[in-house]
Amino acid sequence: MTPLIDMAFLLIVFFVLVSQVTGAEFVEMALPKPASNAAKRPGDADRIVLNVIPAKDGGAAAYRVGKREFAPDAAGLQQLVATMAQAMKANPGIEVNVRADRSTAYSWVRPAMDAVADALATSGIDRSRARVKLMVMGADSNG
């Protein structure tokens, strides 16, 4: 019996940890789902996942990187830029993924993308390779 119980406990610990990690980075929201399959699967590169946390009526409650939340005002966005610039300096190859709910108004997503551009500018990375990746659902997924 003992090996069986050992394995079961290991699996439980594994799933508890995995669900915590993915929960921190991937906030529950309905991503846009464009009709074509032009979007690619995310690679294995290191990445900053920038979540635009949806509020009611197409607003944004906060911007979130990992477990840190930033208020959607000027001060919060400056902190966001500083945080991302720090991560980019430490790891110049890092990429930024922006996740926003499909009903969020563009005016709340634009500051997030501007923040990425500003963070790249302040971190002094070669900006010819500067890009942002927008996260969507695959066209054939059921999400």
Residue among 12, 66, 86, 93 that touches another protein (CB under 8 A): 12
Tokens for 9, please give them: 């406990």
Tokens for 132, please give them: 């942002």
Cβ closer to another protein: 91 or 103? 103
Distance in Å, CB of 90 to another protein, minimum:
16
132 counts as binding another protein under rule CB under 8 A: yes
**Which of 111, 90, 100 is CA-nearest to residue 46?**
90
Distance in Å, CB of 50 to another protein, minimum:
12
Cβ closer to another protein: 56 or 73? 73
User: In Å, how far are 95, 128, 139 from 124, measured between CA atoms?
Assistant: 15, 11, 36
Cβ closer to another protein: 91 or 139? 139
Cβ closer to another protein: 14 or 91? 14
How large is the angle between the packed helices 106-123 and 74-90, nearest 10 degrees?
40
3 counts as binding another protein under rule CB under 8 A: no
8 counts as binding another protein under rule CB under 8 A: yes
Left if phi > 0, otherwise alpha if psi is -120 to 50, otherwise beta: which for 65?
beta
Site for another protein in 35-74 (CB under 8 A): 35-42, 52, 58-60, 72-74
Q: How big is the CA angle at 116 (ends 106 and 68), to the nearest 5 degrees?
A: 90
24 counts as binding another protein under rule CB under 8 A: no
